[in-house]
Structure 1
Amino acid sequence: MTVEHWGVRVPVRKGEETRQALLREGLLDCSLKVTRDGNDLVFPVIAEQENAGRYLFEGQPGREELPRHELIGGIAIMQENDPAGAARILTSRPSLHTVLYPTSEVAGAFRTRSFTVLAGTDTTRTEVVEHGHRFSVDLAGAYFSARLSTERQRIAEKMGKNELVLDMFAGVGPFAITLAPKAALVVAADLNPRAVALLMENTRKNRAGNVLPLLFDARRLGAVVPWKFDRIVMNLPLAGTEFLAEAFRLLRPGGTIHFYSLVSCEGEHQDRIRELGGTGVTERMVRSYSPGQWHAVYDIVTGPA
């Protein structure tokens, strides 16, 4: 049977990379077949997202449709408290060891949430492999989003050689370690002791010797770091606006800030950014978050001194 569904078109040469990323982010619709159109592949995805369009797909014969879930390393996170569905998910991929259901939202100064184990090993810890990097993650101890994998690569591609980089809310280090190969130094700060412990573990694991972990409040970074930065990453979507002024103080003239925020209308933070000195601002949607709200990134450039 042929159905019309959301799909993402990529060149054939990027097919496996895209498939792995969609699987990792829990976005690939495995009930439908990937289709080829000339020199492109079209991957079926579970919902509308950036760069997606409507395409015709054939169903996978005999493929059982699984409950909706997100993959982070060897852990699947379900949207429903469904132990029977969790058991099916656990047996669907040999790489899975645990299925979790979140019992709270991401909250608090440490950006953590609680889970219950629906199937598999009683743990919230796993390892995530992303574009050649390996990250130890504890989902109950420190925030991690596999859905920002493409964003990390996008920023790495924009970087020049030997930049001074600041990651103001580093978590376990996915942005900091991804950007490290091009950077002269990456200062990676977080207020959560568990996150910084995992960040230190991940810098060793990935041999990222130019990443400097700091257990520190981002509001006070100017008191301890002696540098102005070429590039600053601000991934604190629920409260990042509170730290924008500090980011501008730490940025060199002509530098770039990547500011992530949950917004409910286009241009929501444009006035505040320009008030602080942003001379060039590009806003784009990273992903849909909830009805009427989406995760946006503002790429902010400041003018010369």
Structure 2
Amino acid sequence: MDGEQWCLAVPKREAEARRRRLLEEGLLDRRYKPRPEGETILFPVTEEVPGATRCEFEAVPERAELPRHELVGGIAIMQENDPGGAERLLASRPSLETVLFPAGPVEGEYRTRRFAVLAGVPSTRTRVTEYGFSFDVDLALAYFSARLSTERQRVLETMAEGERVLDMFAGVGPFAITLSRRAGLVVAADLNPAAVHLLVHNIALNRATNVIPVLADAVHLARLGFRPFDRIVMNLPLAAPQFLATAAALCRDGGTIHLYALEEREGEFLPLIRAVTGGKVAERRVRTYSPGKWHAVYDIVVEKEER
């Protein structure tokens, strides 16, 4: 039913980013429809947060409960092997083309996984659109996480114009191409030939003329003769910490490393980071990965000289 609810007024140009952030924080009240008001969008929130006021909202019509899933472009990835639920899910969203179920874990040096098709078009390829960028993805050939879209924007917003950026585990290019919007140069490296093939395609798709794709094992990047980078992204959650020394060698004094890792306790990788980089560190949890395990990011300022 319609009713009065706490809400936040957000400028339209910031509405999508704020909506995603509210969803991640569990604050968006999905029982009600956001509505425009002048140059703002009013978002219903579940509690009285700073800046919230009371507003009238129209309730979202009740609908059949759908199976748990994650959306990646036109593909839904379900958490249960439920063909009947997959058919309901496919029918519920006109934009959906395929429903998949993971047939195994993320594994191997290329971070790929096998999928079973539960409904729809038998394909693992789709196009993902986020914040004005488009990425062609093949989930069976290269790792991709749609859940990091707001994280990519967060890193972009911290950048200065003209930075030299290295994406050590670029995959199909979501971080590299997003950061190219402000960077002077982005070197995007990956070990997986299929990922680099899609990366080259996505660079052209987004007209990102300042991104250089590199097919290489991250451990060998220091041998390629690059000048030190201002910023390095390490999005390899299962193994990134073991490449930290390589990243530190490639980063300039005072530069920033964004290290993404899976951890079971807060600050798990702080001793390693302080031993290798000697700089300031800020840690934040990006999302829950599995029971008792979190996907965290460490923002590291590298210090190579006495100050």
Same fold (TM over 0.5): yes
Q: Given that residues 24 and 146 in structure 1 are in contact (C-alpha distance below 8 angstroms), is that contact kept between their aligned partners in structure 2?
A: no
Q: Which moved more, 1:60-69 or 1:138-147?
A: 60-69
* Matching residue of 1:33: 32
* Matching residue of 2:101: 101
* Matching residue of 1:139: 139
Q: Given that residues 32 and 59 in structure 2 are in contact (C-alpha distance below 8 angstroms), is that contact kept between their aligned partners in structure 1?
A: yes
* Matching residue of 1:53: none
- Looking at structure 1, the residues matched to 98 and 191 of structure 2 have their Cα atoms a distance apart, in angstroms, of 28
SS of the aligned residue for 1:67 comes to coil
Q: Which runs of structure 1 show a deviation greater than 6 angstroms over 4 or more consecutive aligned residues?
A: 7-10, 22-25, 27-31
- Looking at structure 2, the residues matched to 124 and 92 of structure 1 have their Cα atoms a distance apart, in angstroms, of 20
- Looking at structure 1, the residues matched to 232 and 210 of structure 2 have their Cα atoms a distance apart, in angstroms, of 16
* Matching residue of 2:299: 299
Q: Given that residues 172 and 196 in structure 1 are in contact (C-alpha distance below 8 angstroms), is that contact kept between their aligned partners in structure 2?
A: yes
The correspondence of residues 1-305 of structure 1 with structure 2, limited to 5 A, is 11=10, 13=12, 16-18=15-17, 21=20, 32-34=31-33, 41-42=42-43, 60-303=60-303, 305=305
Q: Which moved more, 1:222-231 or 1:103-112?
A: 222-231
Question: How far has the Cα of 1:281 moved from its partner?
Answer: 0.1
Q: Which amino acid in structure 2 is aligned with residue 76 of structure 1?
A: A
* Matching residue of 2:53: none
Q: Which amino acid in structure 1 is aligned with residue 83 of structure 2?
A: P
Question: How far has the Cα of 1:241 moved from its partner?
Answer: 1.2
- Looking at structure 1, the residues matched to 258 and 13 of structure 2 have their Cα atoms a distance apart, in angstroms, of 25
- Looking at structure 2, the residues matched to 88 and 172 of structure 1 have their Cα atoms a distance apart, in angstroms, of 30
Structure 1: runs of 5+ lacking an equivalent = 46-56
Query: Alpha carbons of 1:166 and 1:93: their partners in 2 closer, same or farther (altered >3 Å)?
Result: same
- Looking at structure 1, the residues matched to 254 and 15 of structure 2 have their Cα atoms a distance apart, in angstroms, of 37
Query: Alpha carbons of 1:215 and 1:43: their partners in 2 closer, same or farther (altered >3 Å)?
Result: farther
- Looking at structure 2, the residues matched to 117 and 207 of structure 1 have their Cα atoms a distance apart, in angstroms, of 32
Question: How far has the Cα of 1:278 moved from its partner?
Answer: 3.2
Q: Which moved more, 1:181-190 or 1:60-69?
A: 60-69
Query: Alpha carbons of 1:19 and 1:160: their partners in 2 closer, same or farther (altered >3 Å)?
Result: closer
Q: Given that residues 98 and 120 in structure 1 are in contact (C-alpha distance below 8 angstroms), is that contact kept between their aligned partners in structure 2?
A: yes
Question: How far has the Cα of 1:8 moved from its partner?
Answer: 10
- Looking at structure 2, the residues matched to 44 and 79 of structure 1 have their Cα atoms a distance apart, in angstroms, of 27
Query: Alpha carbons of 1:263 and 1:126: their partners in 2 closer, same or farther (altered >3 Å)?
Result: same
Q: Given that residues 286 and 295 in structure 2 are in contact (C-alpha distance below 8 angstroms), is that contact kept between their aligned partners in structure 1?
A: yes
- Looking at structure 2, the residues matched to 59 and 200 of structure 1 have their Cα atoms a distance apart, in angstroms, of 44
Question: How far has the Cα of 1:290 moved from its partner?
Answer: 1.4
Q: Given that residues 279 and 300 in structure 2 are in contact (C-alpha distance below 8 angstroms), is that contact kept between their aligned partners in structure 1?
A: yes
- Looking at structure 2, the residues matched to 255 and 275 of structure 1 have their Cα atoms a distance apart, in angstroms, of 16
Question: How far has the Cα of 1:24 moved from its partner?
Answer: 11
- Looking at structure 1, the residues matched to 22 and 130 of structure 2 have their Cα atoms a distance apart, in angstroms, of 12
- Looking at structure 1, the residues matched to 64 and 28 of structure 2 have their Cα atoms a distance apart, in angstroms, of 11
Q: TM-score, normalised by structure 2?
A: 0.86
- Looking at structure 2, the residues matched to 30 and 82 of structure 1 have their Cα atoms a distance apart, in angstroms, of 28
Query: Alpha carbons of 1:22 and 1:68: their partners in 2 closer, same or farther (altered >3 Å)?
Result: farther
Q: Percent identity?
A: 58
Q: Which amino acid in structure 2 is aligned with residue 151 of structure 1?
A: E
Question: How far has the Cα of 1:227 moved from its partner?
Answer: 1.4
SS of the aligned residue for 1:221 comes to helix
- Looking at structure 1, the residues matched to 282 and 141 of structure 2 have their Cα atoms a distance apart, in angstroms, of 33
Q: Deviation per CA, 1:206-260: give whole Å up to 9, x if none.
A: 0111111111000000111321100000000011111001000101000000000
Question: How far has the Cα of 1:182 moved from its partner?
Answer: 1.0
SS of the aligned residue for 2:181 comes to helix
Q: Given that residues 31 and 64 in structure 1 are in contact (C-alpha distance below 8 angstroms), is that contact kept between their aligned partners in structure 2?
A: no
Question: How far has the Cα of 1:16 moved from its partner?
Answer: 4.7
Q: Which amino acid in structure 2 is aligned with residue 258 of structure 1?
A: H
Query: Alpha carbons of 1:219 and 1:158: their partners in 2 closer, same or farther (altered >3 Å)?
Result: same
SS of the aligned residue for 1:255 comes to strand
Query: Alpha carbons of 1:290 and 1:247: their partners in 2 closer, same or farther (altered >3 Å)?
Result: same
- Looking at structure 2, the residues matched to 63 and 260 of structure 1 have their Cα atoms a distance apart, in angstroms, of 37
- Looking at structure 1, the residues matched to 304 and 103 of structure 2 have their Cα atoms a distance apart, in angstroms, of 48
